[in-house]
Structure 1
Amino acid sequence: MTNLLETAVNAGNFTTLIEAAKAAQIIDTLQSPNIFTLFAPTDEAFAQLPEGTLDELLQDTAKLKKIITYHIAFGDVRSDDLVQIQEAETLEGSVLAIESANGGFKVNDANILQTDILADNGVIHVIDAVLIPAMVAGH
């Protein structure tokens, strides 16, 4: 198997996320032996951000790092686990709300489109929106 970064690259629909992770200097985290769960917004999810937002974030690496690490939860949280939990602690320090609804899952306001893409150092769940931590959203 491959690590979270390689798995995301191979999937092909996370180009913007990978570019943002590189800019935020957290590529090493995604390649580390530590076990994480990555809630990965698709390129389409990034495209839904207001115009200019992504360019602005790529210039503001501190804010970008907060946003990207807000998509990374500790441990290997698979769909079986998502059913049993209401929240997940993130690398950013805040907590994501996890909700099971209509046979699927939501993380904050994003729908999980695909669960359980396994990697050597964790798991990826594909989401349809970019998650913004409250500390960043208020600015």
Structure 2
Amino acid sequence: MLKHFLFLVLVNTVHCQENVLDVAKKFGANKLVEFLQDVELSSVLKGKGPFTIFAPTDKGFNDLPGADLEKLTKDKALLKQVLSFHAASGLKMSNDLKNDEVLPSLDDPEQIRINIYDQAVYATGCKVILPDKTASNGVVHMLNKVIYPVPTDNVVTFASTTPELSTLVYAVIRGNLQKTLAEGPFTVFAPNNAAFQKLPPGKLSDLLSNETALVDLLTYHVVPGTFYSGGLSDGMEVPTVQKSDVRISINGGVVKVNDATVSEADISVTNGVIHVIDTVLTPAS
């Protein structure tokens, strides 16, 4: 009994001497620690803290598209911004985190959005696969992938700089919804230009000349709260700002919203998330 007690004391003493970088490396975040050293952030995270680190595994970095990883390794300023977005000041255990709360990152004012789906924790859309790994100066939550790119635009600003969403942006302006969509948090199912081209002849021009009908249609594409892919499930019905529900179906990895297919998922923005869809959603009314 005494030997067992002394063993536990020894283990806890060693564990308490490990800072967040030691713990992150211990659980498979070698690349993260290496990159932190490259941009001279490691000295900060070895400090008193406390810090909450969302640490991508080495696989998370390896799973980035080759061009993105190469861009990060060549651009130290961008790499530092991305890495800073994975760390927050203060101690946040998984039980302390709340759905749709935002934590100021080390690169404040950029913020890490927390979501809780079926008790699983997500940080800006990335799943926490090993939570609550404590260190002498904070806690590490291991992520399945890298939070990249870092969201710096809200829904409207992002859409305004994305050519394939230009028709949607024009419709939002005609519906005077810019200020509304700058609030949130929202999940936006964003029809691309090709989706609007599939509408019956004259339908789009009719909508653009009828603000009430246009707002009704556009708000049917907006869901209060943030639903990344990890928060969507087959058969799920989600209430929209328009007050009617949209139905989610998932089959073979293909996600559909009513009859529309998600062509690009999980685009993080500062006030939520965007999923690009290939068909305009039409409310039943």
When normalised by structure 1's length, the TM-score is: 0.93
In structure 2, the CA distance between the partners of 1:118 and 1:53, relative to structure 1 (3 Å rule), is same
Distance 1:62 1:44 in 2: 23
Distance 1:11 1:75 in 2: 22
1:9 pairs, out of 156, 160, 166, with 160
Distance 1:2 1:95 in 2: 27
Distance 2:235 2:179 in 1: 28
Q: Encode CA deviations 1:48-99: one digit per residue, 9 max, x unaligned.
A: 1011110010011100100000000010100001136611110001000011
Residue identity matched to 1:36: F
Residues 1:107 and 2:236 aligned together = no
Distance 2:253 2:228 in 1: 15
Query: After the TM superposition, which segments of 4 or more aligned residues of structure 1 sit over 4 Å from their partners?
Result: none
- Determine the structure 1 residue equivalent to 2:177: 26
- Determine the structure 1 residue equivalent to 2:195: 45
Unaligned runs of 5+ in 1: none
Q: Encode CA deviations 1:92-136: one digit per residue, 9 max, x unaligned.
A: 01000011111120000000011100000000000000000001x
Q: SS in structure 2 opposite 1:130?
A: coil
Asked if the contact 2:263–2:277 (Cα under 8 Å) also holds between the matched residues in 1, the reply is yes
Distance 2:195 2:234 in 1: 26
1:31 deviation in Å?
Answer: 1.1
Asked if the contact 2:234–2:248 (Cα under 8 Å) also holds between the matched residues in 1, the reply is no
Residue identity matched to 1:17: L
When normalised by structure 2's length, the TM-score is: 0.46
Q: SS in structure 2 opposite 1:14?
A: helix
- Determine the structure 2 residue equivalent to 1:78: 228
Q: SS in structure 1 opposite 2:179?
A: helix
Q: Which has the higher contact order (CA 8 A, sep 6+)?
A: 1
Asked if the contact 2:191–2:277 (Cα under 8 Å) also holds between the matched residues in 1, the reply is yes
1:29 deviation in Å?
Answer: 1.3
Instruction: Give the aligned CA root-mean-square deviation in angstroms.
Output: 1.1
1:17 deviation in Å?
Answer: 0.5
Distance 1:85 1:65 in 2: 26
Residue identity matched to 2:170: E
Q: Determine what percentage of the aligned residue pairs are the same residue.
A: 38
Q: SS in structure 1 opposite 2:164?
A: coil
1:12 deviation in Å?
Answer: 1.7
